[in-house]
Amino acid sequence: MILIVPAIAAAVIFHSAWLLVIVPSGLLVLWVALGKWGPKRKVTPEQFADELEPHLLGTGGAWHWDDVTSVGIDDKRLERLRAKLAKFDNLILEERRIEFTQIIAALRRGEVPDVKDD
């Protein structure tokens, strides 16, 4: 709806069917650009640990993990960590759960651990 309604309004106002394609495409490009270069969250390592813990405990809501890992962080060290968290999407393996627990513990101490890519 976010992409279609503006396209329909622009097409009706300017009497051009091409706007039904151009407007959604332009909005998608803008959306991606803002996601990449837009404002970033300002969080401390301790606050980031608080955001990660519900995923470990299984108490986060339906979109919790996506919300935590999708929005950029202003601190470059935390941003590098955030970018590598995809391997913890699923914590079924005990080794992943242990590693994720260690990351949270390090963040609580104010440290930003280095996570190896798999």
The predicted structure's pLDDT at residue 58: 94
pLDDT band at 49 (very low <50, low <70, confident <90, very high): very high
Collapsed DSSP state (helix, strand, coil) of residue 41: strand
pLDDT at 16 over 70: yes
Give the distance, in angstroms, between the CA of residue 115 and the centroid of all CA atoms in the same chain. Answer: 17
pLDDT at 44 over 80: yes
Q: Where along the chain do its domains lie?
A: 4-37, 45-108
CA distances from 111 to 46, 87, 103, 104 (A): 9, 20, 9, 10
pLDDT digit string, tens, across residues 78-96 = 999 999 999 999 999 999 9
Whole-model pTM: value is 0.69
